[in-house]
């Protein structure tokens, strides 16, 4: 096999960034990757105490590690235990492992201990898509944790592949409400108890995050949730990756276009309300979290 050299030195390259026409060795790729994260932090003037939602997977673990390289960021980590048997046990172990490696104290939010039921139990009663239910619960608890503990931001590991593929899926289903939050930063709304959120990996693709995690020995769990269904965005994501390989940079262009669309569509968004039970933001009288969990501390 022919050795491909780094564009910046004679070391062997581990990744090709087609849109830049460059190959990078581990050291120079680390600089490139952190530079992409830094651009998000600089553009939106992100600093202060940031809570990182670590699931144990590659994206959130990499997000936490990357943020530790910026002196103006005080990183804290937390994990939401959804009670999904062995999967949650191993995910929690991975979240603890990467937090220990980074010198972070990991807070645990235990759904069953705090609200009386696990995700499998709630899903058995509610039916429907377990992934949609799980996502709703994680969003609620993530926001509540950040808001109640006074963090400046809560960071998630959503990357470019996630953002563009999910937005295409929503467009295909004429589901426009999620256009709120397409930018790397979602501003806080204290009146509705919405914490400020940031996606540091916003301009980095799945493979780019994976290569960074592997070449920097970041611990993460490879397992898949036993409740997960074939994601409707997986096929879209594969197509987008193929398209981006043929037309390098097009996924970033899509993301930037969606960000502009969000600004124009802001007037059409449904007016937020405060949940009559918990007081957090909702589009309905009682938020869905309170409706499905039904055990309110």
Q: What is the distance of C-alpha 255 from the center of its chain?
A: 15
244 is in an annotated binding site: no
63 is in an annotated binding site: no
Q: What is the distance of C-alpha 7 from the center of its chain?
A: 30
H or E element at residue 24: strand 22-24
80 is in an annotated binding site: yes
In terms of residues, how long is the chain?
A: 297
287 is in an annotated binding site: yes
157 is in an annotated binding site: yes
73 is in an annotated binding site: no
225 is in an annotated binding site: no
134 is in an annotated binding site: no
CB distance 184 to 198 below 8 Å: yes
The residue ranges of DSSP E strands in the chain, in sequence order, are 15-17, 22-24, 48-53, 73-81, 106-110, 153-155, 185-186, 197-198, 273-274, 281-282
17 is in an annotated binding site: no
Paired strand residues for 77: 52, 106
222 is in an annotated binding site: no
158 is in an annotated binding site: no
Write out the binding residues.
Answer: 6, 9, 25, 28, 53-55, 59, 80, 157, 162, 275, 278, 287, 290
Going by the annotation, the residues of the binding site for ATP are: 53-55, 59, 80, 157, 162
Binding-site positions for Zn(2+) read: 6, 9, 25, 28, 275, 278, 287, 290
């Amino acid at each position: 096999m022919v050795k491909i050299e780094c564009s910046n030195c004679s070391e062997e390259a581990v990744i090709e960034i087609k849109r830049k026409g460059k190959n990078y060795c581990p050291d120079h790729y680390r600089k490139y990757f952190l530079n992409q994260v830094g651009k998000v932090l600089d553009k939106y003037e992100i600093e202060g105490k940031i809570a990182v939602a670590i699931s144990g997977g590659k994206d959130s673990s990499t997000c936490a590690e990357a943020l530790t390289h910026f002196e103006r960021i005080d990183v804290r980590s937390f994990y939401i235990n959804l009670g999904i048997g062995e999967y949650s046990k191993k995910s929690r172990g991975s979240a603890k492992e990467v937090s220990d490696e980074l010198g972070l104290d990991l807070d645990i939010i235990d759904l069953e201990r705090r609200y009386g039921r696990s995700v499998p139990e709630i899903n058995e009663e509610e039916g429907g898509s377990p992934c949609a239910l799980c996502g709703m619960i994680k969003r609620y608890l993530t926001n509540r944790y950040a808001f109640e503990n006074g963090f400046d931001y809560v960071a998630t590991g959503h990357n470019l592949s996630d953002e563009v593929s999910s937005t295409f899926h929503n467009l295909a289903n004429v589901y426009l409400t999620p256009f709120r939050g397409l930018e790397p930063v979602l501003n806080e709304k204290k009146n509705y108890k919405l914490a400020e959120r940031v996606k540091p990996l916003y301009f980095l693709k799945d493979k780019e995050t994976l290569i960074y995690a592997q070449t920097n020995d970041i611990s993460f769990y490879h397992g898949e949730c036993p409740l997960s269904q074939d994601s409707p965005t997986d096929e879209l994501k594969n197509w987008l990756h193929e398209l981006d390989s043929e037309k390098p940079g097009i996924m970033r262009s899509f993301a930037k276009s969606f960000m502009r669309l969000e600004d124009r569509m802001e007037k059409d968004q449904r007016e937020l309300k405060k949940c009559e039970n918990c007081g957090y933001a909702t589009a309905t009288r009682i938020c869905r979290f309170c409706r499905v969990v039904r055990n309110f501390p």
